[in-house]
Amino acid sequence: MSSFLAFTLFGLFSGAAYAIAASGLVLTYSTTRVFNIAHGALGMVMSFVFWDFSVRQGMPLWLALFLVLFVVAPGVGWFIQRFVTRGLGEGPVSVSLVVTVGLLVGCIGLATQIWPPEPRSVQPFFPGSDVELFGIFVTAHQIITIALSGVVAVGLYVLLNRTRIGTAMRASVDNPELLKLFGGKPEQVAALSWAVGTSLAALAGVLLVSTVGLDYYALTLLVINAYAAAMLGRLKSLPLTFLGAMSLGLITSYASGYLPTDGLLNSVRNVVPALFLFVVIVAMPQAQLRIGQVKGIVSAPQPSLFRALGWGGALLLGVAFLATAFGESKLLLLGTAATYAMVMLSLVLLTGYGGHVSLAQLTFAGVGALAYVKLEQANLVGLALSALIAAGVGALVALPVIRLTGLYLALSTLAFGVIMEKMVFQAEFAFGFNGTLGAERLSVLGVTIGSTAAYVWVMALFFVLMGLALLWLRRGTLGRMLIALRDSPAACGTLGLDARWFRVGLFGLSAGMAGLAGALYAGLRGSVGAAEFQYFNSLPLLLLAVVFGVTSVTGAALGGVGLMLLPVFQSSNPSAAGLIFAVIGFGAVALGRDPNGLANQLFKLGRLLDRRFGTKVRARIPVLPAPGEAQRRMHAEAEANAGAEPSLTSVGLHADGSVDVPLIADPSREVGAHAAPRG
């Protein structure tokens, strides 16, 4: 009985901290329509600030807490709303998700740069002030956390439903223009919401840090629990959010205490929040079509078929040259870049063309790699089967949430990534815990591609073929339907287009492309493990795809190279590793509103140079005469020398020696009549 009470108490303590974090998340979303993926990352940064003030700077505990909750956190929230997320609620959900994911990655990079990894600890509030309750000891920190969660829930409910400011907060998202007519200030109201929400994230982080520890990723990813609680409240009901957080805390505590420590149920203990999130998303009611958005995203220009073939051939020639010049280690890096580029091509289809965001795209690549190894068919058939298996898994992920859109689809992929990593990839029947599996090189028509240089070139060939297929799809009817569904799903619905099954097929095709890349990667490396397909690595992959251009094949190629070079730069400059991460994250924040990215800037530069210098350059290039042109010129000169008038039409020389000449002396005769050759 005492153990049950202990687990119950710990569950209530955890649930209370989750409730505080989830309440801030609900507040910012219900007033600005921006789902802040970086909510936990902001709480993590504020926890480090609290440690810095209270431990390193030696401030009194109450002063450090006051500065963090009422000065630093509100200031950061105000800044984010004014300069980062302003107006995102009116745009596509995919844009706001990418921007807040960039904010998450940027916060982690900033924290690692300012506070390098080293042992740190934060003492709980009032240590040693324990209270015995029903035979168990309850700390003052736990009592304060549970009490604060109730105060926050009641306070926010009163703020939103019983005050003029709360009414303005709700009106600012429903109809900001109407609020302005009544003297309201929507921008200031939104900034206040973000200030309060960031303070609540900071409070949750400070309350959890004594238990979790000052860990960059643990504090950040614990917000998944807040996601689940907020989803139970449908991102608008604070009482349901509080109930969901407390229920999740209790379920997680009981699972860790009573589930066996071996077998499949052991892995369930680590994914209870993700399972809870997925189940809640599946149980969500039908999403309403978003109306009022007619203006679409301006996509990068589509190259002609001739130009696409030319650039594809140039890429293959460049890879062939590098393959002959590079050593084994650099060839593996080049093949890794090709893998990332192919996975980013799947994001071009899903995010760039379809407008949906996947937060676990590397997980689908892991499914393809695992299938390739387990099938033991290192040939084109095995490669195709691996891609089909990954496509089927992707369709299964989208199928339960077929009624939902944007945000819920993205969060379902996040939950799926956590579940796959903890329950499948680390299981004994898959890669095992920290284990690896051997993989054979691909064989084509019975010939094994044993050379790493040749294998890398084959991977580049697959990238080119996938890119050409995407461009062909984009130009066709299916591509126009994708763009229409991305820009205005309500308009497509009025035309009778069923977007639900279309969305499932899109997810499946995108996952199949990522699975194909994973299978090729397994053959390249010779052995693969679960560590290479961690779901968190899907976040920088998405960000670099957006930074370089998630709407173009060129952006995918550049993004693959950039993601490959990221660990290289970090290992060569350890002191700047966090800074590089921060630059990527905040770069995605800056470019998230323009999914065409840096690739589109290169296209604009190319068009500018062509307009300015192209005509002059082409004028200097000698033009070879067309076939038969020399004979025409000779005949014209002969006519001129003989005193005849110059020919006004073309003069053709046939293979039999006959010539087409104009008969201008007699206009009644047909021009270009067939005449015998002159002597």
Extended strands (E) in 100-171: 131-133, 136-138
Task: Look at 431 and 93; give whichever has higher pLDDT.
Answer: 431
Angle value at C-alpha 362, between 356 and 363, nearest 5 degrees: 95
SS3 state of residue 672:
coil
Q: Which of the four pLDDT bands, split at 50, 70 and 90, describes residue 263?
A: low
Place of tokens 């290992």: 571
DSSP string, 5-58: HHHHHHHHHHHHHHHHHHHHHHHHHHHH----TTHHHHHHHHHHHHHIIIIIS-
CA distance 406 to 499: 12
Q: Which of residues 405 and 451 earns the better pLDDT score?
A: 451
- Residue 163 phi, psi dihedral angles, 5° rounding: -125, 160
Higher per-residue confidence, 596 vs 565: 565
| Strand (E) or helix (H) holding 480 | helix 477-487
CA separation for the pair 283, 7 (Å, rounded): 28
The average confidence (pLDDT) of the chain is 82
Instruction: Give per-residue pLDDT as tens, 38-76.
Output: 998 999 999 999 999 999 999 999 999 999 999 999 999
State the CATH class of domain 2-258: mainly alpha
Distances (CA, A) of 43 to 211, 220, 414: 14, 7, 19
For range 641-658, the mean pLDDT: 44
The whole-angstrom separation of Cα 367 and Cα 347 is 16
Query: Looking at 405-526, which runs of residues are DSSP E strands?
Result: 436-438, 443-444, 447-448
Q: Six-digit token pair at 221? A: 């990813």
Give me the residue spans of the domains in the chain: 2-258, 305-531, 629-675
Assess whether pLDDT exceeds 60 at residue 610: yes
Least confidently predicted of 127-136, 390-399, 474-483, 518-527: 127-136
CB atoms near residue 47 (< 10 Å): 28
Residue 527 parent element (H or E): strand 527-529
Give the torsion sign (CA, 384, 385, 390, 393).
positive
**What pLDDT does 426 receive?**
86
* pLDDT score at 672: 40
Q: Is 671 left (phi over 0), alpha (psi -120 to 50) or beta?
A: beta
> Is the pLDDT assigned to residue 642 strictly greater than 70?
no
Q: What distances in angstroms separate CA 41 from CA 5, 76, 112, 217, 375, one per listed residue? A: 32, 12, 12, 8, 40
- Give the pLDDT score at 678: 40
Predicted pLDDT of residue 502: 82
Tokens of 222: 């614990």
Cα dihedral value 319, 535, 36, 160, nearest 10: 160
pLDDT digits (tens, 9 = 90+) for 202-230: 999 999 888 888 888 888 877 677 888 88
The answer to whether the beta carbons of residues 470 and 345 sit under 8 Å apart is yes
Q: What are phi and psi of 153, to 5 degrees?
A: -60, -45
Q: What percent of the chain has pLDDT over 70?
A: 84
Query: Using one digit for the tens of pLDDT, what is the confidence trace for 513-545?
Result: 999 999 999 999 988 988 889 888 898 899 888
pLDDT at 95 exceeding the cut of 50: yes
- Please write down the long-range contacts of 185-193, taking CB distance under 8 Å and 24 or more positions apart: 187/82, 187/86, 189/31, 189/165, 190/31, 190/32, 190/81, 190/86, 191/77, 191/78, 191/81, 191/82, 192/165, 193/27, 193/28, 193/31, 193/32, 193/81, 193/169
pLDDT at 631 over 70: no
- Listing DSSP states for 169-218 in one string gives HHHHHH-HHHHHHTT--HHHHHHHHHHHHHHHHHHHHHHHHHHH-S-HHH
What is the rounded average pLDDT of the residues 352-366? 90
Per-residue model confidence as pLDDT tens digits over 278-297: 888 888 775 554 544 444 45
Q: What is the pLDDT of residue 385?
A: 96
Please count the CA atoms within 13 angstroms of the CA of 161 that sit on its side-chain side: 10
Q: pLDDT value at position 640?
A: 58
The model's confidence at residue 371, banded by pLDDT at 50, 70 and 90, is very high
pLDDT on residue 639: 58
What's the one-letter identity of residue 647? S
Q: What average pLDDT does the segment 73-84 reach?
A: 92
Give burial (CB, 10 Å; 0-12/13-18/19+) of 672: middle
Instruction: Report the pLDDT averaged over residues 242-265.
Output: 84
pLDDT beyond 90 at 236? no
